[in-house]
């Protein structure tokens, strides 16, 4: 009967649970044996891929226009009426396989993950998952509606980013203050959402038999290879090694700018990257890499062709098949992401480009995720394609670095050699500034979920965020801006929508820096190892994925010290070109 399943998710966008039920029933009724388990897993994957792609397409439509009431209705209807019974049916199949005692070849890691999912599954949590999704949609609507008036036009705050790189410091300050005043206007609304999020998550953990949300979330994320204590060690290593390096960067910028103190508008207005050093300390305008989205795409394709012709071909396919939504516009959800359409065996990239080099960096990053989808699509079972986040981000961050040598126009890229050097310096500087910011976000979440009742007092959250900011972010003068500083946690989507999903970026950047280090002496070999690791999907352990890519899964100060030294040396070398 599985040959009757639609071969396109577009044909199942309005399916009801009753239309899926016969397929789940057929899988449930099958008597599993060593001879038929492979076919059974492939049929389950066929069904699961269809369900996954329908959900992805509904979510994409909702994020493309947060003011589209019909798109929101369809998405929320699916979340409310479809996800709970589908999760129950999927859980029953997981239990059937685990209890069969069968060990399909290449399925060791998925089986390990299934056992944990079964341990955590509670039917009473399904309506809480639905409510959490609805709160997340409300968060997106609040952020997506944040606009300001600039030069007589009402624009999304994201479109102030080019202004925030204006060489005129007074213009930057005016834009920064305007944006943050608008952020603060939603302070009470976001505080109200926050308490609801915490209450739901606390109940989820309790329903699953956990005393605290951290232990529950750790298992839900499948973090088998590191502990909360490892994260604390990582924070300490960052404080020891990276915070001084970041302070050196800030002081260098302050000195070159010739100003008395380094202020927030001397960095970035983008709340998702508040410490990015996108401001040139010299009186030059921001880099303008492209004039149109089509040009942005075509130059990116040329870069990927230079990195590896197969990767370039993947990106060409995405352009040809309309799998890119890159431009910023009114009512578009914030941020950028790559999602998978597994039936079509394609990825989809969503972002908010406004004409800056950050857009190029984001596209390189999300393309790394897209290449992960293309490389792992041949794995036969959907569970093998479930990549741990800590390595999924190695795929994206490594691509930023592997593509960096090809940013010049003579390689098909965007810039003159001097401007390419400037762009690369900015990227490497922002690798340094990212680790301390990541530590603030991760340490904040550890505090929240270790002190969940206290964290329901949003004033306590403001105070803790400010304390952590002062610990990890040194060399920036926030005097007179205390309200904007202490509410920075409001502007980090992950804290609200995807709790504990952030340390992965810090760990992955450490892995990506090691991939890049290997590429400095052997670019083609590094790309080959990178693609080999991507092709493994989630079929091996996290340390094995790093090893295959030519890196070591690490948290320690020594590894950080070596890589930060490499980054600082490379910045100096590029500065000679710049």
Residues 331-341 pLDDT 10s: 998 889 999 99
The pLDDT value given to residue 269: 67
Domain contains 22: yes
The pLDDT value given to residue 11: 96
The pLDDT value given to residue 281: 74
Domain contains 96: yes
CB contact at 8 A, 135 and 193: yes
Between 144 and 231, residue with greater pLDDT: 231
- The domain of 45 spans 2-105
| Mean pLDDT for the stretch of residues 548-570 | 97
| Mean pLDDT for the stretch of residues 291-305 | 97
φ and ψ at residue 348, rounded to 5 degrees: -140, 135
CB contact at 8 A, 321 and 332: no
- Residues of the chain with pLDDT > 70, as a percent, come to 99
CB contact at 8 A, 381 and 45: yes
The pLDDT value given to residue 183: 94
Least confident of 135-144, 338-347, 566-575: 135-144
pLDDT of 259 > 80? The answer is yes
Domain contains 7: yes
Domain contains 508: no
pLDDT band at 278 (very low <50, low <70, confident <90, very high): low
Domain contains 139: no
The pLDDT value given to residue 295: 97
Number of domains the chain contains: 1
pLDDT of 94 > 70? The answer is yes
Place of tokens 């599954």: 121
How many residues appear in the chain?
Answer: 578
Chain segment 174-194, per-residue pLDDT in tens: 999 999 999 999 999 999 999
The pLDDT value given to residue 549: 98
pLDDT of 198 > 90? The answer is yes
Domain contains 454: no
| Mean pLDDT for the stretch of residues 213-221 | 95
Output the average pLDDT for the chain.
94
The pLDDT value given to residue 285: 77
Chain segment 400-428, per-residue pLDDT in tens: 999 999 999 999 999 999 999 999 999 99
| Separation CA 332–CA 352 (nearest Å) | 8
| Mean pLDDT for the stretch of residues 297-304 | 98
Helix axes 503-521, 417-450, angle to 10 degrees: 150
Domain contains 48: yes
DSSP class of 81: I
Domain contains 288: no
CB contact at 8 A, 150 and 175: yes
């Amino acid at each position: 009967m599985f040959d009757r399943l639609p071969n396109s998710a577009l044909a199942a966008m309005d399916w009801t649970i009753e239309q899926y039920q016969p397929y789940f029933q057929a899988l449930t009724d099958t008597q599993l044996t060593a001879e038929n388990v492979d076919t059974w897993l492939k049929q389950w994957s066929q069904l699961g891929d269809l369900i996954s792609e329908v959900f992805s397409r509904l979510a994409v439509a909702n994020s493309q226009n947060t003011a589209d009431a019909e798109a929101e209705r369809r998405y929320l209807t699916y979340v409310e009426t479809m996800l709970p019974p589908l999760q129950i049916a999927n859980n029953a199949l997981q239990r059937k396989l685990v209890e069969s005692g069968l060990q399909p070849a290449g399925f060791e890691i998925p089986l390990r993950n299934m056992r944990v999912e079964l341990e955590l599954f509670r039917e009473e949590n399904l309506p809480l998952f639905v409510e959490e999704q609805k709160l997340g949609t409300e968060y997106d609507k609040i952020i997506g509606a944040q606009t300001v008036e600039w030069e007589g036009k009402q624009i999304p705050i994201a479109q102030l980013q080019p202004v925030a790189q204006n060489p005129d410091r007074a213009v930057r300050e005016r834009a920064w203050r305007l944006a943050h005043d608008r952020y603060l206007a939603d302070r009470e609304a976001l505080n109200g959402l926050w308490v609801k999020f915490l209450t739901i998550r606390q109940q989820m953990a309790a329903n699953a038999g956990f005393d605290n949300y951290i232990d529950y979330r750790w298992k839900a994320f499948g973090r088998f290879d590191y502990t909360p204590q490892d994260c604390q060690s990582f924070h300490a290593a960052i404080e020891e090694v990276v915070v001084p390096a970041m302070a050196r960067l800030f002081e260098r910028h302050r000195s070159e700018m010739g100003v008395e103190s380094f202020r927030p508008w001397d960095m970035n207005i983008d709340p998702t990257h508040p410490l990015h050093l996108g401001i040139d300390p010299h009186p030059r305008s921001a880099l303008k890499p492209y004039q149109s989205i089509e040009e942005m795409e075509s130059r990116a394709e040329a870069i990927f062709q230079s990195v590896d012709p197969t990767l370039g071909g993947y990106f060409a396919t995405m352009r040809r098949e309309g799998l890119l939504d890159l431009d910023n516009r009114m009512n578009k959800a914030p941020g950028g992401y790559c999602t998978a359409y597994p039936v079509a065996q394609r990825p989809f990239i969503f972002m908010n480009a406004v004409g800056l080099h950050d857009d190029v960096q984001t596209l390189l990053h999300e393309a790394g995720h897209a290449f992960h989808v293309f490389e792992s699509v041949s794995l036969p079972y959907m569970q093998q394609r479930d990549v741990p986040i800590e390595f999924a981000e190695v795929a994206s961050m490594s691509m930023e670095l592997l593509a960096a040598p090809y940013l010049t126009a003579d390689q098909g890229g965007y810039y003159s050699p001097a401007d390419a050097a400037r762009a690369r310096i900015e990227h490497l500087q922002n690798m340094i500034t990212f680790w301390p910011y990541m530590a603030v976000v991760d340490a904040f979440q550890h505090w929240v979920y270790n002190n969940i009742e206290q964290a329901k007092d949003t004033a306590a959250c403001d105070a803790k965020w400010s304390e952590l900011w002062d610990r990890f972010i040194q060399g920036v003068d926030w005097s007179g801006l205390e309200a904007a500083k202490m509410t920075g946690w409001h502007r980090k989507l992950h804290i609200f929508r995807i709790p504990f999903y952030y340390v992965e970026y810090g760990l992955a950047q450490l892995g990506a820096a090691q991939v890049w280090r290997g590429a400095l002496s052997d670019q083609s070999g590094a790309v080959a190892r990178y693609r080999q690791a991507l092709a493994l999907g989630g079929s091996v352990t996290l340390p094995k994925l790093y090893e295959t890519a030519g890196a070591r899964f690490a948290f320690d100060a020594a590894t950080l010290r070596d890589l930060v030294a490499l980054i600082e040396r490379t910045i100096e070398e590029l500065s000679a070109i710049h």
